[in-house]
């Protein structure tokens, strides 16, 4: 609850005011002891007392990047979002320089371009010293005008990224700001008027007056040279700012063009990579289809071969079956047909056995054979 933004606070640059501080720095501020003890419950009125106690400014310091009280109070102002009149009073406070710097830093973060130039440029005339805490924890000497120049010309201060603002000459061209008038010009005009009145008051002779009004007076020449130098310096600063903006715009256009070229190159590379990947996928798919076709042909050929083999086997089986059937038919039909032949053979064998020609004794068998040829009975021994 203590770290939430005021519900009545308005969004700045389209976001929560506390989001103008980076998340890492914001979390470090929330965990800081000064934030928990000194900034709890502060309002726009009581915050002035804490700002008057500041004795230095800075962002983070030390090895663990501890936030300074100055940046904690800036965070508190972003949280409670004081009114613009209070911030302007902070800036116009001449008694406490750190209160002035605190208001200027807050206005630089949250204010409009016109308000930033209108309220911060007069602080160029403040030359008071400031103590600034560096990142290593050491203190350095600076001045109010130097810090204001840092806020108006740089994009980073006190470890916070400052929002970009328009250049002054652009606002002058748009009639939003009057041309800047240096505080030294009033002194120059007073010196010039004083120098012009001195010859009349002292009653110088006519020749001296003629020399003075012709421009021969050394004082007048010096004043004229000083004014010319001041205008020259101002024009030179204006030209330098314009050249810087032109160079910045040219660099930004170059960076944008280079980024576009890089994006186009990356897009072409991605397109080529996807094309190669598609080609590889197409080639792989084509190889896979070819393998499937080859397997299908092999299966078809094997099926055809197995079919022909099965047909040949069935044909051989059928032939064998036919042969068996024929043999069986022959075997079943031959006994009735060959039975007389068998009887005849048995009878012949019996007769052969009866005539004694098969006698084991060869002489007896020979004698029986002769007796059989003569029609006699065989010998029985």
Query: Could you read off the pLDDT of 238-260 as tens digits, one per residue?
Result: 566 666 666 666 777 777 777 77
**135: number of Cβ within 10 Å:** 13
183-202 and 218-355 helices cross at what angle (nearest 10)?
Answer: 170
Answer for the pair 66, 25: CB distance below 8 angstroms, yes or no. Answer: no
Angstrom CA distances, 347 to 12, 351, 366, 381, stand at 142, 6, 21, 22
Residue 129: strand pairing partners: 143
Identify the band that residue 16 occupies on the pLDDT scale cut at 50, 70 and 90: confident
pLDDT band (50, 70, 90) for residue 129: very high
Q: How far is CA 239 from CA 141, 200, 244, 280, 320, in A?
A: 31, 40, 8, 60, 118
Flag whether pLDDT at 379 surpasses 80.
no
Nearest to 68 by CA among 50, 80, 85: 50
Interacting residues of 369 by C-beta distance below 8 A, sequence separation 6+: 355, 357
Mapped onto helix, strand or coil, the DSSP state of residue 285 is helix
Q: What is the mean pLDDT of the chain?
A: 79
Spatial distance between the Cα atoms of 116 and 218, rounded to a whole number of angstroms: 41
Mean pLDDT, residues 322-349: 65
More confident residue, 345 or 201: 345
Pairwise CA distance, residues 172 & 209, whole Å: 41
Token reading at 161: 């990224």
Range in 13-22, 113-122, 183-192 the model is least confident about: 183-192
Q: What percent of the chain has pLDDT over 70?
A: 73
Higher pLDDT pick, 364 / 90: 90
What pLDDT does residue 239 have? 62
Q: What does the H/E/C string look like for 191-236?
A: HHHHHHHHHHHHCCCHHHHHHHHHCCCHHHHHHHHHHHHHHHHHHH
| φ, ψ at 353 (rounded to 5°) | -70, -30
Cα 109 to chain centroid, rounded = 28
Helix segments in the chain, DSSP class H: 23-30, 33-38, 47-52, 69-80, 84-92, 97-110, 113-120, 144-153, 168-173, 183-202, 206-214, 218-355, 362-374
> Which of 8-17, 224-233, 263-272 is the least confident region?
224-233
Rg of the Cα trace of the chain? 62
- pLDDT of amino acid 3: 77
């Amino acid at each position: 609850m203590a770290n939430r933004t005021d519900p009545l606070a308005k969004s700045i640059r389209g976001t929560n005011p506390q989001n103008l501080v980076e998340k890492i720095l914001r979390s470090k501020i929330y965990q800081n002891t000064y934030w928990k003890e000194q900034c709890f419950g502060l309002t726009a009125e009581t915050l002035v007392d804490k700002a008057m106690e500041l004795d230095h400014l800075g962002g983070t310091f030390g090895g663990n990047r501890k936030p300074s009280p100055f940046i904690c109070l800036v965070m508190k102002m972003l949280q409670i979002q004081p009114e613009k009149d209070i911030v302007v009073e902070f800036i116009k406070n001449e008694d406490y320089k750190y209160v002035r710097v605190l208001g200027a830093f807050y206005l630089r973060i949250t204010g409009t371009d016109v308000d930033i130039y209108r309220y911060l440029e007069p602080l160029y005339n403040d030359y008071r010293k400031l103590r600034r805490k560096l990142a290593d924890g050491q203190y350095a000497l600076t001045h109010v005008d130097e810090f204001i120049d840092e806020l108006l010309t740089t994009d980073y201060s006190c470890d916070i990224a400052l929002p970009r603002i328009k250049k002054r000459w652009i606002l002058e061209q748009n009639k939003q700001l009057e041309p800047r008038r240096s505080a030294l010009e009033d002194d120059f005009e007073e010196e010039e008027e004083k120098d012009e009145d001195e010859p009349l008051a002292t009653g110088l002779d006519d020749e001296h007056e003629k020399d003075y009004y012709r421009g021969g007076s050394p004082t007048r020449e010096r004043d004229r040279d000083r004014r010319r130098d001041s205008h020259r310096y101002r024009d030179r600063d204006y030209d330098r700012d314009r050249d810087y903006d032109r160079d910045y715009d040219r660099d930004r256009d170059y960076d944008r063009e280079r980024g576009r070229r890089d994006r186009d190159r990356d897009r072409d590379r991605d397109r080529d990579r996807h094309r190669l990947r598609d080609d590889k996928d197409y080639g792989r798919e084509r190889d896979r289809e070819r393998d499937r076709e080859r397997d299908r042909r092999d299966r078809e050929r094997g099926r055809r071969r197995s079919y022909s083999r099965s047909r040949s086997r069935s044909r051989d089986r059928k032939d064998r079956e036919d042969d068996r059937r024929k043999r069986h038919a022959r075997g079943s039909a031959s006994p009735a047909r060959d039975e007389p032949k068998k009887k005849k053979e048995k009878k012949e064998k019996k007769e052969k056995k009866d005539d004694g020609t098969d006698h084991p004794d060869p002489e007896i068998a020979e004698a029986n054979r002769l007796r059989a040829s003569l029609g006699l009975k065989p010998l029985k021994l």
